[in-house]
Chain A
Amino acid sequence: MPLRLQRRARPSFAMRLGAPLLAVLVAAVIACGLLAASGKAPLDGFYALFLAPLTQASGWADVLTKSAPLALIGAGLVVAFRSRVWNIGAQGQYIAGAVLGSALVVHMPESSAGWLLPSMIVLGVIGGLLYAAIPAFLSTRFNANVILTSLMFDYVALAGLHYLTFGPWRDPSSYGFPGSVSFQDAASLPVIWAHTQFGLGAVFAFLAAPLIWILLRSTLFGFQVRVSASDEASTYAGFSRPRVVWMALLLSGALAGLAGLMQVAGPINQLRPDIYSEVGFSAIIVAYLGQLNPLGVLPAALLVGLFSVGANNAQITLGLSSSLGQLLQGVLLFTLLASNVLVNYRLAKVSS
């Protein structure tokens, strides 16, 4: 009996929850297949990738630390994507926040003033916000495609970061290594889990998701975002599309910028050319894995964080390539998009 996809009368709530789980399962199976194909014992690989980090407390701390910026950026992207504003420039906004926030430290490396850290946080937010304002302006003023502009500005930001860390902002005492001076305590977010990198920044990052949930549910802006599912209905309601585009980009940019600052003033403790490690793109996967629900972003971020820690772990213990983590993310995005079909469709047997 052949199977056919049949449209459901209404989207299935169970599948909205089940589809990501199914996607993770299929992705894990594919990952094992890839491991087997590359000549490793698939079960060992599976263990190293997905389970080993969870066997020790320090592994949990690593996963939480890795997940924090993903949850923060992902929550912002949920707002953008629900507004149908395709901001895929979180990477650039993250770098812009990190750079602008670091500017203070670079110019007063020895300062221990109490206002330093709060100012850095504010500057981080402003950096991401201003950087997201560019595609917002280009879109609302010239109708330029946000996907293209936001993506292209990622590379501009990266080039800027490289210029600064290899050039004017390089720590003179670093023996030629790129990167700024290391941040003093006054310029760093405190670590709250001793002997790990898990700090105050991560805690706040995880708080963003529930706040965004309330924003979407109960505020006028959140309502505008939800109505954005239909352009015509937005017009009918009397909402201004350019305004929503601006707000969605500024908000997601600000959160990405904040995430960037929290990384350089937290676990990384320095502005380096490698601070970004694709976190802006992983956050896109996180937003979709969470079904564009701010609360769904939390487990999604933890999972992608686990992948990332697991891939590092597998590289050390099994000698697997570190790109395995990104490969997994890619596979996961595919399986997720595929299994999301089941939210609106069901498999039905066709009698022949």
Chain B
Amino acid sequence: MNVTADEKGGANARTQPRLELYGITKAFPGVVANADVSLSVHPGEIHALLGENGAGKSTLMKMIYGLLAPDSGSLMWDGREIRIEGPMQARALGMGMVQQHFALLESLTVAENLALTLNRHGRWDPNRIAARIEDAEREYGLKVHARRPVHRLSVGERQRVEILRCLLQEEPLKLLILDEPTAVLTPQEIEGLFAILRRLAADGLSILFVSHKLEEVRGLCDRVTVLRSGRVVARRDTADVSVEDLAALMVGDAPPPLRERKPVALEARVRMAVSSLSQSTLDPHGTALQSVNFELRQGEILGLAGVSGNGQQELMAALVGERSSPPEAILIDGQAVGKLNVRARRKLGLRYVPEERLGKGAVPELSLIDNVLLTRWAKAMQWGLLRLGQARAAAQSLCDRHDVRHPGVASPAASLSGGNLQKFIMGRELDEAPEILIVAQPTWGVDVAAARRIQDGLLALRERGSALLVISDDLDELLLLSDRIAVMSGGRVSPVCPVASVDRAELGQWMGGNVSGWEAFGDAA
């Protein structure tokens, strides 16, 4: 690590701050993303930037990294005021950023990927990079398979590759920005990441850790800056603050409590049954389904946990009819539906909400009126024409009922914020009171209040007697919502067990690909 001795010493030492922000303000049309934000990070400090989705964390990070220019305010680096024109300059100063969505080419090896961005002026030489990766492994304990193609890596490994890319850049790394780094990791992988980060910080690296997960912030970081609606509402040493305090600071008013969970007085009739479903994948980097078995009953929420990319998308495509399967592999109310298409299965009462909202759950360039019709067109036909007036009224009442903030139902779906769009899409499907609802990542990227609304909606549908399958990589949410839970890993689905009887650590093991004990558990469920 290329830091001088006097820079070491952690946050408490009275050193020159590495990065200081003063009065940073940034407005976008219609919304102030950051207002008068000040922040300082010292060498060797792990500093948390805590806030809900939409609080303005990502915008702030983008301004530090030169991806956006602030409207006003100043930025100091090692005591000098600077203006960062772009990521190239940020890197030249010694900054590195790991974004939520990794920028890796799947078909290249780790060394080839790194060779593309590092050493840009020299010859393209993956072998030399591979040697440097091995050095880095010794130095920081960052384990990465240099010669393995990226598509064979787990998400945790990919993240380590991104961190490594920052560490190996030409200018010695002084500040590492991590944007929601744990969102895609298993509990075990998170521990591994934290060990690496602590070691890097001990060597004098400053780390900005962007998160909305309170426990992690308390466990890892030295100091925390809390953002709410674009403003700094608190700065604390994490040692002085409890998780409850942090929650209150982050959310402001306490979030509305979740709807009370009522027992459903229905026989546990099976609505959807999946048996021995195996399927290759069309995506060269996807995951094939391997003999998936489970049953979905009426009046229950079945949670399917697992790290993204373990076959969830493939399973969803098969369940809803986007891909056909052997007819008997999927039964709805006893009827073999494997060969039925999306339209036919929707007629049988199966509705679903895909993970991608803009571009699949809604067409960005079409109006909210048209987007209401996207999954309801079959009922909106009259004499061969679409009843547009009725669709307009439906869009209006949908937005009113589900508190979707919108600039008019004739405006395109792309003009909605992510949270509002999700409320719109969820509302569209929930209002149809489907017999079976399959939802992927119901509250991903949605603020706490909106997430509560969505979760309430799911619970209400469960009480009605519908069968719900919720696919998510947020284990906490699944434990909160589900009656029974299963884990997906490597294209396989674990035995289903009642939420009351699961062990979090064991679920984590399963999510990480350790499938020992799956058979034993099957009988208990």
B368-385: CB near A (< 8 Å → 1, else 0) gives: 001001110110010011
Q: Is B215 an interface residue (CB 8 A)?
A: no
Contact status B29-A9, CB under 8 Å: yes
Q: For A229, A233, A235, which residue has the most chain B Cβ atoms within 10 angstroms?
A: A233
A219-237: CB near B (< 8 Å → 1, else 0) gives: 1100100110110110111
Q: Is B284 an interface residue (CB 8 A)?
A: no
- Count how many chain B residues have C-beta atoms less than 8 Å from C-beta atoms of the other chain: 33
- Count how many chain A residues have C-beta atoms less than 8 Å from C-beta atoms of the other chain: 19
Contact status B385-A218, CB under 8 Å: yes
Q: Is A176 an interface residue (CB 8 A)?
A: no
B344-365: CB near A (< 8 Å → 1, else 0) gives: 0010000000101001111111
How many A-B residue pairs have C-beta atoms within 8 angstroms? Tell me: 71
A235-278: CB near B (< 8 Å → 1, else 0) gives: 11110100000000000000000000000000000000000000
- CB contacts (< 8 Å) of A235 on chain B: these are 322, 342, 360
What's the dominant secondary structure at chain A's contact region? helix
Q: Is B16 an interface residue (CB 8 A)?
A: no
Provide the bound-state CA to CA distance between A227 and B342, in Å: 16
Min CB–CB distance B258 → chain A (angstroms):
29
- CB contacts (< 8 Å) of B356 on chain A: these are 232
Min CB–CB distance A244 → chain B (angstroms):
14
Q: Is A10 an interface residue (CB 8 A)?
A: yes
Contact status B385-A230, CB under 8 Å: no
Min CB–CB distance A49 → chain B (angstroms):
36
Contact status A227-B388, CB under 8 Å: no
Other than the given A217-B388, A230-B359, A238-B378, 16 more pairs (CB < 8 A) read: A9-B29, A9-B30, A9-B415, A11-B412, A219-B384, A220-B384, A226-B366, A227-B363, A227-B374, A229-B364, A230-B360, A235-B342, A236-B360, A236-B361, A238-B342, A238-B346
Q: Is B1 an interface residue (CB 8 A)?
A: no
Q: Residues of B with Cβ closer than 8 Å to A?
A: 28-30, 322, 341-343, 346, 354, 356, 359-366, 370, 373-375, 377-378, 381, 384-386, 388, 411-412, 414-415
Min CB–CB distance A348 → chain B (angstroms):
11
Contact status B359-A238, CB under 8 Å: no
In the complex, what residue of chain A is closest to B31 when comparing beta carbons? A9
Provide the bound-state CA to CA distance between A238 and B354, in Å: 13
- CB contacts (< 8 Å) of B30 on chain A: these are 9
In the complex, what residue of chain A is closest to B375 when comparing beta carbons? A237
Q: A223 is contacted by which of B322, B362, B370, B375 (Cβ under 8 Å)?
A: B370
Contact status A238-B386, CB under 8 Å: no
In the complex, what residue of chain B is closest to A221 when comparing beta carbons? B384
Q: For A219, A223, A226, which residue has the most chain B Cβ atoms within 10 angstroms?
A: A223
Contact status B385-A232, CB under 8 Å: no
Min CB–CB distance A239 → chain B (angstroms):
8
A136-161: CB near B (< 8 Å → 1, else 0) gives: 00000000000000000000000000
Contact status B386-A220, CB under 8 Å: yes
Provide the bound-state CA to CA distance between A11 and B342, in Å: 32
Provide the bound-state CA to CA distance between A9 and B417, in Å: 11
Contact status A236-B415, CB under 8 Å: no
Contact status B385-A223, CB under 8 Å: no
Contact status A236-B386, CB under 8 Å: no
Q: B363 is contacted by which of A11, A229, A238 (Cβ under 8 Å)?
A: A229
Provide the bound-state CA to CA distance between A258 and B19, in Å: 69
Contact status B342-A218, CB under 8 Å: no
Known: A220-B386, A227-B366. A233 touches B360 (CB 8 A): yes
10 pairs across A/B with beta carbons < 8 Å?
A10-B412, A218-B385, A219-B384, A220-B377, A220-B384, A227-B363, A230-B360, A233-B374, A236-B342, A238-B346
Q: B411 is contacted by which of A10, A223, A226 (Cβ under 8 Å)?
A: A10
